[in-house]
Amino acid sequence: MNRFAVSVGLFLLLLPSAHAQMSTGGLLYDLAEVSSNAWYRDDAQVWQLSESVFKDGKAICQTDLEQLSKAGVPGSTKISLRSETYDLSAGEHTLDEVTSVCQLTAKYGKIKTWEKWAIEAMRDNARLTNGQQIVTAYMSNCSPPTKR
């Protein structure tokens, strides 16, 4: 065997582990970006949840955390948040700390979805004038979306 064949063989042998490390690093970066962008302050300095951090009705951070957990990445691993979030300041935090923000993001995302359904029910029924009627119309006219 010549040197070239041995070099190519070693490269191909090491390629899967390098790819696994790169994808874990990519997941850590994605989690940091999604977490940094999940919450923002509006003009009145009130925290608001960004809709861009959800995909198919699920918080993107949840998917990233599940994949990192499957890859065996420990909760003590540090990631750097570019900007302040609802519960964390900008800077380095552990995955365990970011997990709590992700859980909060997922929870408020569900509430925000319910709020949209209630508003749609209100718009669909012009007779609605107060809160009780909104809730009643939501319960009778709306149902959660089904998977297709």
Query: What length is written for the chain?
Result: 148
Q: How do residues 36-86 score in pLDDT, each as one tens digit? A: 888 888 898 888 888 888 887 788 899 899 999 999 999 999 999 999 988
Distance set, CA 65 to CA 35, 119, 147 (Å): 11, 32, 23
Residue 19's contacts (CB-CB under 8 Å, 6 or more residues apart) are none
Q: Mean per-residue pLDDT for 2-6?
A: 43
Counts for the chain of helices (H) and strands (E), in that order = 4, 6
